[in-house]
Amino acid sequence: MIRISALQMQTAGANVDANLSRIERAAKQAAAAGASLLVTPELSLMSYGGGERMVDLAEPADGPAVSRLEEVARRSGIAIVAGFAEKAGSAVYNSAVYADGTTPPSVYRKAYLYGDYERALFTPEAPQSCLFTHQGITLGMLICYDVEFPENVRRLAVAGAELIVVPTATPAGASGTFIAEKMVPVRAFENQIFVAYVNNCGNDGDFEFAGRSIVAAPDGSALATAELSEALLTADVDPSAYDRSRSENTYLRDLL
C-alpha cells in the first residue's frame, strides 16, 4: 500500500519559481500526512495558459526546473509528478516527470494533443508505455486528453500498471465535469486499476479549469475528490483491498 496526495492547483502563470514554491509547500504538507507521492497538474511548472512563453521556458528533462523539482523531492522526502514543457532538439513536448530525488527521473510525453492551442505549441509523441515502480507499486503516466482514449489506459494496465497518474488541464464545462465524474471512474473499473486524475483550477490566461480532481479505485469508487478551488487530496492505494473486485470483473484476464 502507498499513500498518495494530489494537488489541485492554481498556477502562478508562467512563473516557474512561484509554481515550484507552491509545489514545495504541498509536498511538505503531503509528507506530513504520510504520503510518499504527490501528483500535480498538467504543465504545473510552466502553467498551461502560458502560451508562447512556455516555448521560451521549455527545458530538457535534465534542465534546471526538473533538477529543482528533484531537490524539492529530496528535501521533502516525497516523490513528485509534475507537468512541464520539455525541450528536446528542435521539438517542445507537453511532458510529465516523476522525480523522487534519488533515482533518474521518468518522463512521459503527451501523445494526444488537444485543440489548436496545444498543437501550435507542442510536438505529439507516439503513444508509449511509461512505467516505473514506486514503493513496490507499478505506476504508469498519461496526460489529460490521453486518458480519454481507452486504449491508452488498457495498454498500461496490460503492461502491469496498478496506478495511473494523470496530470490534467481539463477546461470548465459539462464535458470536463463528465470526464472527471464519469469517464475516469470507468477507466479505473474497466481495467481494475487506480487512476489519479489531477486537474488545474481557477483561471490561467484564456483558460478556466474544471477542477474536480479525483482518485478512482478499481471498483469505480472515488477515494478522494475536489470541487473547484485549490485542494490537496490524500488517498491510500492498496491493490490487495480490491482482490474481490478483480475476481468479479475479469476484463484483463478475458482479453482475446
142 pLDDT above the threshold of 90 = yes
Q: Of 24, 87, 110, 162, which one is the catalytic site residue?
A: 110
Residue 182 has pLDDT above 80, yes or no: yes
User: What digits encode the pLDDT tens for the residues 69-122?
Assistant: 999 999 999 999 999 999 999 999 999 999 999 999 999 999 999 999 999 999
Active site residue 182: no
Q: Which domains are delineated in the chain?
A: 2-246 (3.60.110.10)
pLDDT tens digits along 48-73:
999 999 999 999 999 999 999 999 99
pLDDT at position 256 over 80: no
The pLDDT, as a whole number, for residue 126 is 97
Task: For residue range 197-253, list pLDDT tens digits in order.
Answer: 999 999 998 999 999 999 999 999 999 999 999 999 999 999 999 999 999 999 999
- Reduced to 3 states, what is the DSSP secondary structure of residue 28? helix
The yes-or-no answer on residue 42 being catalytic is yes
Catalytic residue among 24, 42, 70, 162: 42
pLDDT in tens, 234-248: 999 999 999 999 999
Active-site residue identified among 70, 118, 125, 144: 144
